[in-house]
């Protein structure tokens, strides 16, 4: 239960189990990127404001820059790498982002996706207002947000089976 | 940036957490949700030698009814408070205020106890705790004491907590009879810290007169600010638009001393406080009357 050097942890990321030894001060975001090579999780601010590092821990969105990797021991994590069902296929939200120009540079995109996937699961019929509210914790410097809102509306309709 | 190295302890019982805290005293910091502490560690504004993580401690995460009031464990996540039916029924002010804190991603980790212990004067939960006349249980190795929320906040980001104490529980008394509550705040963007926020509570007597009123403000001082004189203007008479306007005027003019920042001058904060007080009181009275009817 105590250590200054390495602490062994076991985490499941996108369904795959990983065992590593980590320094306590290692942020979960850096663990994913550097130790596991999952660089889809981006790091913008490291103080919880930008949302680029958002991942799911046990199904709920959190800032991976505001957790230590040791705290994830025994937990189930989902990152953007796990969204697409296969190499030739995108998640409906990814597909809609692509079609609606919901991204330009793409730096913020993983955080938006990992915020909005659980949002759409909990709220399959979102209004535009609710969508803007849901993405207020993620910053995008490129799109002006309108195209992201459009993408979420389209993805929601498709996921309900109402649009093609 | 990255945090400086520290020794990490993850006790599984409250007793071992308290022991560790007693042993390391001022060297150690408690880690709750980490949503305020980890940012300052990332910037190396805090470099604790020892971090005692409370997240694996059993029995600090609960919402329980007790004699018509609530007992809430300090490690209860803000997101849990937002979704808990007992909180909605017995502490509607708390249920209304919590969604104003940051974003779901933050509230999924941030805790009730962490927000109170952090004691940011811009935070929602300290003002709500004072408005609800919460009592806080502070535990140390071999003892505990209870303090009133209104005494707990002792100044800018400071509280009565001693270095060897852990805030373990928040007790809320039963709601006042025929009462109505409202939480209203103004932020530049949803989820940002409020420029001004107000928690209002009123209760009525059988004749529909205001028996008791409470007005608590955030972001207008170094701690939650209560406007007692303004509340008194409402007590004893049937609520009216004039009385509400007078209370809003009194509170914003005489009972706060806000400092400005780049987004809001002191005068603008007073203006916001006046307008938000009117809104909150109208809503609180309407709810109290709905319940009384
Ligand atoms: C982007 C962003 C926006 C935010 N916006 C808001 C907002 O609008 N409103 C708001 O109120 N907050 C906001 N917060 C802060 C958030 O609510 C935090 O969760 C809260 O301030 C601290 O709670 P925590 O559980 O995360 O505590 P931690 O960060 O873990 O701890 C905070 C402090 O309290 C001490 N502590 C924690 N628990 C205890 C305990 N049980 N006993 C004794 N000491 C303890 C710690 O040692 C530390 O000093 C925001 C945070 C971020 C990152
Ligand atoms: S990098 Fe985590 S919120 Fe910005
Ligand atoms: S697409 Fe560039 S920051 Fe959002």
Q: Give B202's strand partners.
A: B180, B213
Are A25 and B105 in contact (CB < 8 Å)?
no
Q: What is the CATH number of the domain that holds A21?
A: 3.10.20.30
Residue A77 and residue A22 share a domain: yes
- Residue A87 forms part of a structural domain: no
Domains in chain B: ranges and CATH: 7-53 (3.30.43.10), 63-172 (3.30.465.10), 179-288 (3.30.390.50)
A45 and A110 housed in the same domain: no
> What's residue B291's pLDDT?
64
One domain, residues A98 and A54: no
Q: Is B208 on the interface with A (CB under 8 A)?
A: no
Which residues lie below 8 Å from residue A119, measured CB to CB, with a gap of 6+? A126, A134
User: Minimum-distance ligand to the CA of A143?
Assistant: 3
Cβ of B189 within 8 Å of Cβ of A136? The answer is: yes
Q: Which of A1, A30, A134 sits opposite B9 (nearest CB)?
A: A1
Residues B252/B217, Cβ–Cβ less than 8 Å: no
Rg of the Cα atoms in chain B = 19
Shared domain for A15 and A74, answered yes or no, is: yes
Task: Kindly list the residues from chain B whose CB atom is less than 8 angstroms away from the CB atom of residue A66.
Answer: 34-35, 38-39, 106, 109
Q: How far apart are CA B245 and CA B248, in angstroms?
A: 5
Report CA(B50)–ligand 2 centroid distance (Å). Answer: 24
Chain A residues with CB-CB distance to B105 below 8 A:
51, 54, 61-63, 115, 137
Instruction: Identify whether residues A74 and A128 lie together within a single domain.
Output: no
- In a domain? residue A56: yes
B187 CB near a chain A CB, below 8 Å? Answer: no
Q: Is residue A164 part of a domain?
A: no
Asked if A66 lies within 8 A of B39 by C-beta distance, the reply is yes
What pLDDT does A1 receive? 45
Contacts of B224 (CB under 8 A, 6+ apart): B121, B126, B127, B129, B130, B131, B150, B153, B216, B217, B218
Asked if residue A78 and residue A96 are part of one domain, the reply reads no
End-to-end CA distance of chain A: 52
- What is the number of structural domains in chain A? 2
Chain A and chain B share a number of CB contacts under 8 A equal to: 93
Boundary residue ending a domain (A63, A82, A101):
A82
Q: Closest Cα partner for B79 from B59, B99, B57, B55?
A: B99
* A50 occurs within a structural domain: yes
Do residues A53 and A98 both lie within one domain?
no
Question: Is A97 in the same domain as A75?
Answer: no
Same domain membership, residue A107 and residue A45: no
pTM of the model: 0.96
Question: In the block, which residue shows the tokens 């009117």?
Answer: B278
Closest residue to B9, CB basis, from A2, A30, A65:
A2
Please report which ligand is nearest the Cα atom of A55.
2
Averaged over successive runs of 10 residues, the pLDDT of chain B (293 residues) comes to 94 98 93 98 96 98 97 98 98 98 97 98 98 98 97 97 97 95 94 96 97 98 98 97 98 96 95 98 97 56
**Residues of B with CB below 8 A from A34's CB?**
none
CB contacts under 8 A, B 1-20 vs A, are 1-12
Residue B137: other Cβ atoms inside 10 A: 18
Q: Which of A23, A61, A66 sits opposite B38 (nearest CB)?
A: A66
For position A131, which CATH number holds? Answer: 1.10.150.120
Same domain, A131 and A67: no
Nearest Cβ partner for A1 among B10, B35, B189 = B10
**Final residue belonging to a domain, choices A21, A48, A82:** A82
pLDDT of residue A22: 97
Tokens of residue A127, six digits: 């209004």
Ligand number nearest CA of B106 is 1
Query: Coil, strand or helix: which one is A64?
Result: helix
Mean pLDDT per block of 10 residues along chain A (164 residues) reads 74 98 98 98 97 98 98 98 95 98 98 98 96 96 97 97 87
> With an 8 Å Cβ cutoff, is A17 touching chain B?
no
Ligand 2 pocket residue status of A62, Cβ below 6 Å: no
pLDDT of residue B85: 98
Q: Is residue A25 part of a domain?
A: yes
In a domain, A2, yes or no: no
Q: Does B39 touch chain A (CB under 8 A)?
A: yes
ipTM over 0.90? The verdict is yes
The domain in which residue A114 lies consists of 92-159
């Amino acid at each position: 239960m105590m250590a200054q050097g390495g602490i062994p942890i076991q985490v499941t990321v996108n369904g795959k189990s990983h065992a590593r030894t980590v320094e306590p001060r290692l942020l979960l975001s850096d663990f994913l990127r550097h130790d596991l090579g999952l660089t889809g999780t981006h790091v913008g601010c490291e103080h919880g404001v930008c949302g680029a590092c958002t991942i799911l821990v046990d199904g709920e969105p959190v800032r991976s820059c505001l957790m230590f990797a040791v705290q994830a021991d025994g937990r189930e994590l989902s990152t953007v790498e796990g969204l697409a069902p296969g190499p030739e296929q995108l998640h409906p939200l990814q597909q809609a982002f692509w079609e609606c120009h919901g991204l330009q540079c793409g730096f913020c995109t993983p955080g938006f996706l990992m915020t909005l996937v659980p949002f759409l699961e909990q709220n399959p019929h979102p209004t535009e207002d609710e969508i803007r509210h849901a993405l207020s914790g993620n910053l995008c410097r490129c799109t002006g947000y309108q195209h992201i809102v459009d993408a979420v509306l389209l993805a929601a309709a498709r996921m309900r089976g109402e649009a093609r | 940036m990255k945090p400086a190295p520290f020794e990490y302890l993850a006790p599984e019982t409250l007793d071992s957490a308290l022991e560790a805290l007693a042993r390391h005293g001022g060297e150690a910091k408690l880690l709750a949700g980490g949503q305020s502490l980890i940012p300052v560690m990332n910037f190396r504004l805090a470099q604790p030698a020892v971090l005692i993580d409370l997240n694996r401690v059993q029995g600090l995460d609960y919402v329980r009814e007790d004699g018509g009031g609530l007992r809430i464990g300090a490690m209860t996540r803000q997101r849990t408070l937002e979704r808990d039916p007992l909180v909605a029924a017995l502490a509607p002010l708390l249920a209304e205020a919590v969604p104003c804190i940051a974003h779901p991603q933050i509230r999924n980790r941030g805790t009730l106890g962490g927000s109170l212990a952090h004691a940011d004067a811009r935070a929602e939960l300290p003002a709500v705790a004072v408005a609800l006349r919460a009592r806080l249980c502070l535990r140390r190795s071999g003892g505990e004491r209870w303090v009133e929320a209104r005494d707990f906040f002792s100044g800018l980001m400071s509280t009565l907590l001693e270095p060897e104490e852990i805030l373990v529980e928040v007790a809320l008394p039963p709601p006042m009879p025929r009462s109505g509550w409202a939480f209203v705040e103004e932020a530049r963007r949803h989820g940002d810290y409020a420029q001004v926020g107000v928690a209002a509570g009123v209760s009525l007597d059988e004749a529909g007169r205001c028996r008791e009123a409470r007005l608590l403000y955030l972001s207008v001082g170094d701690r939650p600010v209560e406007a007692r004189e303004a509340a008194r203007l409402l007590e004893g008479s049937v609520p009216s638009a004039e009385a509400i306007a007078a209370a809003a005027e009194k509170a914003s003019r005489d009972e706060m001393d806000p400092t400005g920042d780049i987004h809001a001058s002191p005068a603008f904060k007073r203006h916001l406080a006046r307008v938000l007080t009117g809104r909150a009181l109208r809503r609180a009275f309407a709810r109290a009357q709905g319940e009384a009817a």
